[in-house]
Structure 1
């Protein structure tokens, strides 16, 4: 019943490495909410997973350090009234979190200097503003 989870083109998490727990969900659902275990907690051991390449694992563990407990990330889903829909939502959320955490860092910004034209425009604008203020005077001749 459990399926493998594909994380972009980076790696595939086999269903055997995922752990699911079900519990009663809070919120709307009438009497059914008290009897069905529709809330899903999906756990994945990021630190010890064999499917994540070593270079990516270091990056993911570093970026998710605040969310990991002993190297395990847990995603909870209880928005839907159906357990199956909550399982799908939890898996999608796990993929999203892992994709963002494994993304390469952004390219370094190359420092640039203002062009000659932009410097001249800035100075011309300052001069115009200065002339406006100087033209206001400020003293009254009696």
Structure 2
């Protein structure tokens, strides 16, 4: 049995993410696996689908349907939060990449670059065939 405090905390978590009960498609299906006659006769496995994102979850961790409903909703919260975290991290990475690409180079870096260019031009001048001017 789930305590009212845990249920209230889960409801609050769903609300902060923006998941409403109308967005969820919930079905109860026959479970499978070990557990004997109880599992084979009762529809305690919970299938949960979040309509806007298309995330599907099947939960059959316990024999209790109520506990499986609770755990399926928790799993949905975790997946949605992970998706949000990943999107935020991608945005931060893009911003950081843009900032690195557009920052000015340091004086030392500019000096080294110019010195390398001078060496290369001298090397190329030595490769030229002798002309009339020489």
TM range (shorter): 0.5 to 0.7
Alignment match of 1:28 (pick from 34, 43, 60): 34
Q: Quote the Cα distance in structure 2 between the aligned partners of 1:19 and 1:25.
A: 18
- TM superposition shift of 1:14: 1.5
Q: Which runs of 5+ in 1 are unaligned?
A: 48-71, 112-142
| Contact preservation (8 Å) 1:5, 1:95 | no
Conserved in 1, the CA contact under 8 Å of 2:23 and 2:51?
Answer: yes
Which protein is bigger by CA-based radius of gyration?
A: 2
- Residues 28 and 45 in structure 2, CA contact (< 8 A), matched pair in contact too: yes
Q: Cα–Cα, structure 1 residues 44 and 37, in superposed 2: closer, same or farther, change >3 Å?
A: same
Structure 2 unpaired stretches of 5+: 1-7, 101-134
State the TM-score, normalizing by the size of structure 2.
Answer: 0.53
The TM-score with structure 1 as length reference comes to 0.51
1:91 aligns with 2:73: yes
Higher fraction of strand: 1
- In structure 2, the residue corresponding to 1:19 is in which secondary structure? strand
- Give the number of the structure whose residues are more often helix, by fraction: 2
Give the superposition deviation at 1:28: 2.2
1:38 aligned onto 2:22: no
- Which aligned segments of 4 or more residues in structure 1 are displaced greater than 4 angstroms? 3-10
Q: Using the TM superposition, give the Cα deviation of residue 21 of structure 1 relative to its aligned residue in structure 2, in angstroms.
A: 0.8
Cα deviation 1:19-76 (Å, max 9, x = unaligned) = 10111111222211121101111011125xxxxxxxxxxxxxxxxxxxxxxxx22111
Partner Cα distance (2:60, 2:44) in 1: 7
